[in-house]
């Protein structure tokens, strides 16, 4: 955990961009259009200020890859070459993990079996390997992607797997055997499908027999380790290139992906035997907001280009299309043109999806007024999906020019669509919150409409306000967690934690918040044992509430701008930078806390003074009142003239 760098771990899954001392990107845990996912390399933590998830590298792997805590540690250990000594875990955890590990192992077994069949059997060499080489794939590409061959036999693979210790139900659950205990893939070349970590989670198989009645492609069904709607073929190999080039190219098939990768165009992926899904789009958006679709140029290709891409617009992606010449696919065109001319063709023929749709539908409608009206409504429906009002405005101007329709008319129609969509979402939120209006999540904010009107705003429920002295208690705990080990008075070697605990120990029973009191008690107990707790202790605390509390203190979407010093030449003259100086912060927080408690005690003592009738008790109470009043004046004087060091 000391050696793991949070930016390295998360960088494999999220496209992070530097912003000051922190890094920012789109959250991988929820759908958002505006980045709210902050990574702090200095503190080695991450935090999403949209959905609230956060933690350290271990926590990220647990959330992202559905690892248990030990599995996440093993993954990090493997990455950094550290040996892990294991201890016994619960039998239930062992069985759950073993069930998933067995499925991964079974897919790995199948992967190696299909490779062996292709390279080490006469049938595999002549049919499987022959097919791939005929398609122009070099052996290094075939081996890198783990391509294989499933023999055209009834149940050879199933029997081999069972003989090697795998269960028949396991084979059926991940689609390697049919319900009749025969091989699911027969007489097909095999394309293994990997998750982002590189593990084999499924397969696609293409039949080679001409005139066969079976489906051309078969794909693994969804299972405990594979969800095809959230997986893209080639993403494991493409993600670095996608992030580097800030663009993802989407093609339709496995061989198209392989051909482009082999030619050095590596930012390419394809759906795994499904229509494009919102889950797959979110995978791409982690790495780039720019996506280019390459479709065949025939009627079917144009139809595919117009179908389903509205969901990409909804994700605030920049969508472009490339239509290939009739009779060509990316693989064949690449073979005929070569890499350089293919890339030039793609760049030259890119069109924005909205403009392509407008031109295509205009061509179909021609001079038919009825068709033209329907076409305009269809275009408006797509433009309304775009969250960014500036982008919408640009496309409205372009479409107005192409269709010879007034801009304001288009804006009015778009506004109607937005109001309908807003109403649907509000109703949906209402149903899920027991008829109470709920705030929209950050990714669903609706912008002001172009004609100056704004949709009705959702009713935002106020967060419960802190009661009593919770705010001051929270600030003290923040300092204990964030800076407890820092020396605030150098000449005396007094740490922030030591100063706070020495000043508030007698007031611990007067805390209003139980969780803040628990943190202070734990700090005090450890301090009495000679230990000062660091922020890492709280970030990895066994109590989730305290872990989350510490993360909230340590992570912030804000940071100090360097422009004051770098551009304006303005620096602090009377004290250190705030992040280096906890003296004033701690003094102020402790004294403010004490002042609040003194005021409360004054009120309590005053009430007691008014109710007592015993003269001796009255004298005692007056003395206490006098001392509390003196303390109040001392503390008030502090805030009137804070000495800055």
54-93 pLDDT per residue, tens = 888 888 888 887 777 888 888 888 888 888 776 666 677 6
CATH of the domain at 55: 3.90.580.10
CATH of the domain at 211: 3.90.980.10
Tell me whether residue 485 is in a domain: yes
**Same domain, yes or no: 497 and 446:** no
CATH of the domain at 282: 3.40.1360.10
| pLDDT for 392 | 82
Q: Does the pLDDT of residue 517 top 80, yes or no?
A: yes
Q: How confident is the model at residue 469 (pLDDT cuts 50, 70, 90)?
A: low
Q: Quick count: other Cβ atoms within 10 Å of Cβ 630? A: 11
Tell me whether residue 129 is in a domain: yes
Give pLDDT tens digits for 367-404.
788 888 888 888 888 888 887 788 888 888 888 888 88
The alpha helices in 404-455, defined as continuous H runs, are 407-432
Tell me whether residue 90 is in a domain: no
Report how far residue 341's alpha carbon sits from residue 321's, in angstroms, rounded to the nearest whole number: 18
**Same domain, yes or no: 494 and 611:** yes
Mean pLDDT across the chain, nearest whole number?
Answer: 81
Q: How confident is the model at residue 456 (pLDDT cuts 50, 70, 90)?
A: very low
* Cα separation values, 259 from 205, 223, 333, 371, Å: 17, 29, 10, 40
Give the tokens for residue 354: 């909205």
Tell me whether residue 465 is in a domain: no
- Owning domain of residue 258: 233-314+327-341
**Same domain, yes or no: 195 and 296:** no
**Same domain, yes or no: 614 and 493:** yes
Q: How many angstroms from the chain centroid is the CA of residue 637?
A: 49
* Cα separation values, 376 from 54, 352, 368, 392, Å: 45, 17, 12, 15
* Number of compact structural domains in the chain: 5
Domain endpoint, select from 226, 249, 273: 226
CB 170 within 8 A of CB 106: yes
| pLDDT for 252 | 87
| pLDDT for 88 | 66
Report how far residue 558's alpha carbon sits from residue 543's, in angstroms, rounded to the nearest whole number: 27
| pLDDT for 170 | 93
| pLDDT for 640 | 62
Rg (CA), the chain: 32
**Same domain, yes or no: 546 and 443:** no
Beta-carbon contacts of 335 under 8 Å, excluding residues fewer than 6 positions away, are 136, 259
Q: How confident is the model at residue 173 (pLDDT cuts 50, 70, 90)?
A: very high
Report how far residue 104's alpha carbon sits from residue 71's, in angstroms, rounded to the nearest whole number: 14
User: Which segment of 80-94, 458-472, 515-529 scores lowest on mean pLDDT?
Assistant: 458-472
2-6, 70-74, 127-131: which has the highest mean pLDDT? 127-131
Tell me whether residue 320 is in a domain: no
Nearest Cα to 30, choosing from 8, 45, 52, 9? Answer: 52
Phi, psi of 26 (to 5 degrees): -80, 135
| pLDDT for 390 | 83
| pLDDT for 571 | 57
**Same domain, yes or no: 636 and 525:** yes
Give the tokens for residue 44: 């080695």
| pLDDT for 645 | 36
Domain endpoint, select from 226, 249, 264: 226
| pLDDT for 438 | 41
pTM above 0.85, yes or no: no
Tell me whether residue 76 is in a domain: yes
Q: How confident is the model at residue 166 (pLDDT cuts 50, 70, 90)?
A: very high
Beta-carbon contacts of 122 under 8 Å, excluding residues fewer than 6 positions away, are none
Segment (H or E) for 268: strand 268-271
**Same domain, yes or no: 597 and 475:** yes
Region 426-443 average pLDDT: 52
Higher pLDDT, 239 or 365: 239
| pLDDT for 299 | 63
Report how far residue 631's alpha carbon sits from residue 633's, in angstroms, rounded to the nearest whole number: 5
Report how far residue 157's alpha carbon sits from residue 106's, in angstroms, rounded to the nearest whole number: 11
Report how far residue 148's alpha carbon sits from residue 430's, in angstroms, rounded to the nearest whole number: 51
Q: How confident is the model at residue 455 (pLDDT cuts 50, 70, 90)?
A: very low
Tell me whether residue 1 is in a domain: no
Side-chain-side CA neighbours of residue 136 (13 Å): 16
Tell me whether residue 365 is in a domain: yes
List the end-to-end C-alpha distance of the chain, in Å, as a whole number: 36
Give pLDDT tens digits for 256-281.
999 999 999 999 999 987 778 888 88
Q: Does the pLDDT of residue 409 top 60, yes or no?
A: yes
Region 402-420 average pLDDT: 83
Q: How confident is the model at residue 581 (pLDDT cuts 50, 70, 90)?
A: low
132-136, 296-300, 304-308: which has the highest mean pLDDT? 132-136
**Same domain, yes or no: 144 and 168:** yes
User: Which segment of 46-50, 165-169, 349-353, 525-529 scores lowest on mean pLDDT?
Assistant: 525-529
| pLDDT for 36 | 86
Side-chain-side CA neighbours of residue 466 (13 Å): 13
**Same domain, yes or no: 533 and 574:** yes
The angle at the Cα of 512, spanning 511 to 517, to the nearest 5 degrees, equals 45
Residue 177: strand, helix, or coil: strand
**Same domain, yes or no: 28 and 142:** no
**Same domain, yes or no: 251 and 217:** no
Higher pLDDT, 588 or 448: 588
Give pLDDT tens digits for 544-578.
888 888 888 877 666 656 665 566 556 555 555 55
Higher pLDDT, 307 or 283: 283
| pLDDT for 259 | 94
Q: Quick count: other Cβ atoms within 10 Å of Cβ 116? A: 13
**Same domain, yes or no: 622 and 541:** yes
Domain endpoint, select from 226, 245, 272: 226
């Amino acid at each position: 955990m000391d050696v793991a760098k949070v930016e390295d771990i998360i960088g494999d899954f999220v496209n992070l961009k530097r912003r000051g001392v922190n890094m920012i990107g789109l959250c991988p845990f929820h759908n958002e259009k505006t980045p709210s996912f902050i990574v702090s390399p200095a503190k080695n933590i991450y935090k999403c200020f949209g959905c609230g998830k956060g933690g350290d590298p271990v926590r990220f792997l647990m959330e992202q890859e559905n690892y248990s805590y030990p599995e996440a540690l093993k993954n990090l250990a493997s990455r950094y070459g550290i040996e892990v000594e294991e201890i016994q875990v619960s039998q239930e955890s062992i069985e759950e993990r073993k069930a998933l590990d067995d499925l991964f192992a079974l897919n790995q077994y199948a992967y190696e079996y299909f490779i062996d069949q292709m390279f080490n059997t006469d049938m595999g060499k002549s049919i499987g390997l022959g097919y791939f080489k005929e398609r122009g794939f070099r052996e290094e590409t075939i081996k890198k992607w783990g391509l294989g061959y499933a023999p055209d036999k009834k149940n050879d693979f199933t029997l081999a797997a069972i003989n090697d210790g795998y269960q028949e139900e396991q084979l059926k659950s991940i689609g390697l055997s049919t319900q009749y205990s025969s091989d699911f893939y027969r007489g097909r070349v095999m394309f293994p499908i990997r998750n982002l970590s590189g593990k084999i989670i499924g397969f696609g198989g293409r039949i080679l027999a001409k005139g066969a009645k079976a489906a051309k492609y078969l794909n693994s069904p969804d299972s405990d380790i594979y969800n095809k709607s959230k997986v893209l073929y080639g993403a494991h190999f493409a993600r670095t290139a996608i992030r580097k080039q800030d663009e993802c190219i989407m093609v339709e098939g496995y061989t198209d992906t392989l051909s482009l990768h082999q030619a050095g165009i590596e930012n390419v992926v394809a759906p795994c035997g499904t229509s494009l899904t919102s889950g797959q789009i979110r995978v791409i958006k982690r790495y780039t907001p720019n996506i280019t679709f390459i479709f065949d140029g025939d009627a079917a290709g144009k139809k595919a280009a117009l179908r389903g891409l509205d969901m990409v617009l909804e994700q605030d992606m920049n969508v472009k299309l490339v239509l290939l010449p009739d009779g060509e696919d990316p693989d064949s065109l690449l073979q005929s043109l070569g890499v350089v001319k293919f890339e030039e063709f793609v760049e030259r023929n890119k069109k924005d999806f909205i403009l392509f749709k407008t031109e295509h539908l205009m061509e179909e409608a021609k001079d038919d007024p009825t068709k033209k009206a329907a076409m305009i409504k269809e275009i408006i429906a797509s433009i309304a999906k775009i969250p960014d009002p500036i982008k919408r405005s640009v496309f409205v101007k372009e479409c107005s020019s192409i269709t010879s329709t007034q801009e304001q008319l288009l804006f009015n129609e778009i506004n109607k669509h937005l109001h309908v969509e807003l109403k649907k979402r509000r109703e949906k939120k209402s149903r899920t919150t027991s008829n109470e209006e709920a705030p929209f999540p950050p990714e669903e904010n609706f912008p002001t409409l172009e004609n100056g009107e704004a949709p009705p705003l959702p009713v935002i429920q106020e967060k419960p306000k802190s009661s009593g002295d919770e705010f001051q208690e929270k600030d003290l705990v923040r300092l204990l967690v964030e800076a407890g080990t820092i020396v605030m008075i150098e000449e005396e070697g007094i740490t922030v934690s030591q100063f706070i605990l020495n000043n508030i120990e007698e007031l611990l029973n007067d805390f209003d918040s139980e969780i803040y009191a628990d943190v202070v008690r734990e700090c005090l107990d450890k301090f009495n044992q000679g230990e000062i707790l660091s922020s890492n202790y709280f970030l990895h605390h066994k109590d989730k509430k305290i872990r989350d509390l510490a993360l909230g203190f340590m992570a912030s979407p804000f940071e100090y701008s360097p422009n004051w010093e770098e551009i304006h030449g303005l620096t602090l003259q009377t004290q250190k930078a705030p992040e280096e100086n906890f003296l004033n912060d701690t003094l102020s927080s402790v004294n403010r806390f004490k002042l609040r408690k003194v005021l409360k005690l004054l009120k309590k003592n005053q009430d007691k003074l008014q109710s007592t009738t015993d003269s001796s008790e009255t004298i005692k109470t007056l003395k206490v009142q006098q001392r509390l009043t003196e303390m109040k004046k001392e503390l008030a004087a502090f805030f009137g003239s804070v000495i800055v060091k």
